[in-house]
Amino acid sequence: MSLRLGDVAPNFQAETSIGKIDFYEYIDGGWAVLYSHPSDYTPVCTTELGRTAQLKSEFEKRNTKVLALSVDSVEDHLGWIKDINETQNTTVDFPIIADKDRKVAELYDMIHPNASATATVRSVFVIGPDKKVKLTLTYPASTGRNFFEILRVIDSLQLTDEYSVATPADWKDGEDVIVVPAIKTEDIPAKFPKGYTEIKPYLRVTPQPNK
């Protein structure tokens, strides 16, 4: 059964490019991004892992740990990392899970038989400090992921987790947000002292409360 939003992300132990890890211990009460790759030494994956490494400080600012996964071996991962560092001008130092027995891939439903019977699709899971799944994305093997979108979603998730707001289409950190419908209009000034604009009774916007 596939994981759905709000489900608890299963724990696992795995060999990785930085040694053996326990998933729950590794994320240590913070946010996490777990994402899979069809296989090592593939061109699109090389650019994705390189981009992740280049954005290390952005993930750290968001208290977010990153883990990648492929069904290849640790030895393959270590050789591939050298290529990634060379071609993408970066340093990959986050763990790449060696899932040769496909235990984690099956646990997280990363293999879609109609796409490939053996390789993982480009799955993305954003997991919160409560270990619950906050976001899932699935890309085909031919399409590289947009990591700025992943960071944008983490910004939204962390903001909306703390305040009674939602984020509109194409929202970026620092822009106005939507007051959730559960907040009565007369209660908005007390909760959002920066003010608000009522576009429709069900659509009220306010400046981002933590900026």
Residues catalogued as catalytic: 45
The DSSP symbol for 11 reads P
Q: How far apart (Å, rounded) are the C-alpha atoms in residues 171 and 177?
A: 8
Q: How far apart (Å, rounded) are the C-alpha atoms in residues 208 and 168?
A: 12
Q: How far apart (Å, rounded) are the C-alpha atoms in residues 7 and 11?
A: 12
Q: How far apart (Å, rounded) are the C-alpha atoms in residues 106 and 60?
A: 28
The answer to whether the beta carbons of residues 71 and 107 sit under 8 Å apart is no
| Rg of the chain (C-alpha set) | 19
Question: Which two three-digit tokens encode residue 192?
Answer: 């959002």
Among the listed residues 75, 105, 78, 72, the one whose alpha carbon sits nearest the alpha carbon of residue 93 = 78
Task: Output the 3-class SS for 174-201.
Answer: CCCEEECCCCCHHHHHHHCCCCCEEEEC
